[in-house]
Amino acid sequence: MKLLALLALLPALAFAQAPDAPSPPRWALATSTAHVAPGGPVQVLVVSLAGDPLEAELQANLKHGAGEQVVVLAADAPAEGDKRRYRFTMPAGVAGSATLELVAGSSSVLVLLVDAPSGSTPKAAEKGTLELPLSENDPMYFIVGGHRGGDLTAKFQLSFKYRLFDTNAGFGKEQPWLAGFYFGYTQMSIWDLSEDSKPFRDTNYKPSVFWQWERTDDRTWIDAARVGFEHESNGRGGIDSRSINTVFVRPEWHWKYANGSRLEFTPKAYAYVDKSDNPDINHYRGYVDWRVRYDSGANWITTSVVRYSDTGRGSLLVDLSRRIRDLKFGPIGGYLHFQVFSGYGEELLDYNVKRDTQFRIGFSIVP
């Protein structure tokens, strides 16, 4: 019950610490429907609140996930006083929640829910035009906490992937399947804030190379898959050195529902190629990361990752994020982020140590 009470207070705490309200917007945006289709038309009503002229074309920032792009709103009808109807095409690569606001002058933020066509996913051959070369990979966050009566720690993670070939030029254009090759990198650190010198307890580095496939029909039994090689180490020497090399496969199943919510099941199975620094790590980590993610389509996103070994040891990681559309942090929206970790090996250095359950709260840009 205490946990539920804390979660209920998170939005209130965030707004209580928000800066003074900005000046009223000069433009208001509205639409007749919040649900739109990728590649489909979107009608937007623009209202000039300050008497500014309604031009034939207006530029707007479209933000989705960790991406942002400029779209052109073309007038769909003559102005009617201080109102005018506009239209633009939702880019085909956008899915989930997106926000729209005008580039020139302050405007209200219009929230759109972009639904992929039923039973389909973006084609792999189109990835060169649908996704930016550099994009998010795993969650990115900064959180602080610990356990009751224990040390205070901060935990932060950065993660991205880079597409190695582009379908619009060179080898990627000649062989579109090459656009599925990515370089990925994830870095996670645990920072001990209770010690006098505030040392980093451990930092884990995880580069990878993988090929990503996405289905292009309605018959294939999985929606997508990744196959690749991954190295993970803590960059130390001597008795504190920890590292593993693995090959992995990650199939993906996605389900979308009428209310815009989305469920993903993406287990990652791996085999150890080298674990000489920590030969018994499989007894604590196992061979599969069982990952389930649920996006409510509105404000809440929950992700759970379970590891379980043949010795009965393992771990549970639960991330809970809430979208905060009223606070702006650069080109991407912010999330309140709450995390619980229980079990073995939150970091590589102590892969065989079971610590007390950790509770942390903070901010994320990719939940």
For the stretch 173-231, pLDDT in tens is: 788 889 899 999 999 999 999 888 889 999 999 999 999 998 887 788 999 999 999 99
**Pair (172, 278) in one structural domain:** yes
Residue 74's domain is classified under what CATH number?
A: 2.60.40.1930
Domain membership of residue 9 (yes or no) is: no
Same domain as 173, residue 44: no
- For the ranges 1-5, 100-104, 331-335, the lowest mean pLDDT is seen at 1-5
Rounded to an integer, what is the distance from CA 27 to the centroid of its chain? 30
- CATH code, domain with 202: 2.40.230.10
Alpha carbons 181 and 228: distance in angstroms, whole number: 9
pTM (two decimals): 0.66
β strands within 78-199, DSSP E: 83-89, 96-102, 110-114, 134-136, 140-146, 152-163, 181-192
pLDDT at 97 exceeding the cut of 90? no
In a domain, residue 12? The reply is no
Query: Is the same domain home to 316 and 355?
Result: yes
Q: For residue 7, is pLDDT > 50?
A: no
Domain shared by 42 and 186, yes or no? no
What value does the CA radius of gyration of the chain take, rounded to a whole number of Å?
23
Return the H-helix or E-strand segment holding 9: helix 2-16
Out of 49, 82, 114, pick the residue that ends a domain: 114
21 pLDDT above the threshold of 60 = no
- Please indicate, yes or no, if residue 3 is contained in any of the structural domains: no
Whole-number pLDDT of residue 181 = 96
103 and 148 together in one domain: no
pLDDT higher than threshold 80 for residue 339: yes
- The residue out of 93, 114, 135 marking a domain boundary is 114
Q: What is the DSSP letter of 116?
A: P
Q: Is 233 a catalytic residue?
A: yes
Residues 145, 50 share a domain: no
CB atoms closer than 10 angstroms to residue 23? 6
Catalytic one of 106, 233, 261, 342: 233
Angle at 30 between CA 26 and CA 35, to 5 degrees: 145
Establish if 18 belongs to a structural domain. no
**Domain C-terminal end among 90, 114, 138:** 114
Is residue 233, in this structure, part of any structural domain at all? yes
Task: Say whether 337 is catalytic.
Answer: no
Q: Which of 108-122, 190-204, 282-296 has the highest mean pLDDT?
A: 282-296
| Predicted local confidence at residue 258, as pLDDT | 77
3-state secondary structure of 229: strand
Instruction: Report whether 59 contacts 27 (CB < 8 A).
Output: no
Give the structural domain span for 50: 25-114
Look at residue 19 and tell me if it is in a domain: no
Count how many domains the chain has. 2
Domain-embedded: residue 7: no
279 conformational bin, left if phi > 0, alpha if psi -120 to 50, beta if neither: alpha
Q: Are residues 73 and 130 in the same domain?
A: no
Please tell me which residue in 147, 231, 254, 283 is annotated as part of the active site. 231
